[in-house]
Chains A and B, each alone.
Chain A
Amino acid sequence: EAGVAQSPRYKIIEKRQSVAFWCNPISGHATLYWYQQILGQGPKLLIQFQNNGVVDDSQLPKDRFSAERLKGVDSTLKIQPAKLEDSAVYLCASSPRGGQGGGEAFFGQGTRLTVV
């Protein structure tokens, strides 16, 4: 079974530029998460989708971050414009189910963003 795919693996941009990350979850997984992991910290949830609907985006900085999951499969996360403090690893994860049932989340390898 293929795992969660993310691209690119690495990205370096200048501040105020825009950037987009792509994630393809495990086939059949309804729930998709985007996490931000700053060096030395645990992952922080940015947004969670259930199929193509947003379940939780309370920690997403909506003035510069946006995400979509068209057709309930793959997803893109965009930052525009980027700030220095956005330098982090962006992890995508998927789960067979969300909600009160909980569920194991399977993670991609992440995209390491450096903003200079």
Chain B
Amino acid sequence: AQSVTQPDIHITVSEGASLELRCNYSYGATPYLFWYVQSPGQGLQLLLKYFSGDTLVQGIKGFEAEFKRSQSSFNLRKPSVHWSDAAEYFCALYNNNDMRFGAGTRLTVKP
């Protein structure tokens, strides 16, 4: 069965510091992978997605993610975090009508 694991429940970084949010998946074939962001009281907004091809994908707001098949990972990165990036981040895997989400990582940004 497919599943998504986000090992970090909560991460705190200083503004301007780099960020990496981890995502591991379990799936037999090449998955469709997504990162979504959710601000308080808001719905989920797509940051980026990976279907095939280049394993480094660029998204909105300066985010990028790298698909590593050997590690079953799809980690989200940003070189310099802004205070407005504080939110909940969800990794998701899609296959055959089933979109499976991780439990999320809450990002706190210190001034």
**A91/B43 contact (C-beta < 8 A), A42-B103, A102-B32 known:** yes
A108 engages B43 (CB within 8 Å):
yes
Contact code string B33-60 (vs A, CB < 8 Å = 1, else 0): 0101000011111100101000000000
Partner of B43, one of A40, A44, A99, A107: A107
Knowing A102-B32, A104-B46 are in contact, say whether A48-B103 is a contact too (CB < 8 A). no
Contact of B98 with A45 in the complex, beta carbons under 8 Å:
yes
A44 CB, min distance to chain B CBs, angstroms? 7
Interface residues of B in 70-106 (CB under 8 A from A): 90, 92, 94-104
How far, in whole Å, are A48 and B51 apart by their CA atoms in the complex?
Answer: 21
Taking CB atoms, residues of chain B closer than 8 Å to A108 are 43
Residues of A contacting B100 in the complex (Cβ-Cβ under 8 angstroms): 45
A109 within 8 A of B: yes
Interface flags for A70-108 (1: CB within 8 Å of B; 0: not) read 000000000000000000000101000011101111111
Whole-angstrom distance between the Cβ of B47 and the nearest chain A Cβ:
11
Residues of A within 8 A of B96 (CB): 99-100
Restricting to B4-25, which residues have a CB under 8 Å from any CB of A?
4
A107 vs B95: C-alpha distance when bound (angstroms)? 18
Asked if residues A98 and B103 are in contact (CB atoms below 8 Å), the reply is no
Chain A, 42-66, CB within 8 A of any chain B CB: 42-45, 48, 55-56
Contact code string A23-57 (vs B, CB < 8 Å = 1, else 0): 00000000001000000111111001000000110
A110 touching B43 by the CB < 8 A rule?
A: yes
| Residues on the B chain within 8 Å of A107, using CB | 36, 43-45
CA separation between A66 and B76, bound complex, in Å?
Answer: 36
Shortest Cβ gap from B43 to chain A (Å): 4
Counting CB contacts under 8 A, is A113 at the interface? no
* Interface of A toward B, CB cutoff 8 Å: 4, 33, 40-45, 48, 55-56, 91, 93, 98-100, 102-110
Q: Which 5 pairs, one residue from A and one from B, show the smallest C-beta to C-beta distance?
A: A42-B101, A107-B43, A102-B32, A107-B44, A109-B43
16 further A-B contacts with Cβ under 8 Å, apart from A91-B44, A109-B42, are A4-B43, A40-B103, A41-B103, A42-B101, A42-B102, A43-B44, A45-B98, A45-B99, A56-B97, A93-B43, A99-B96, A99-B97, A102-B95, A104-B34, A105-B99, A107-B44
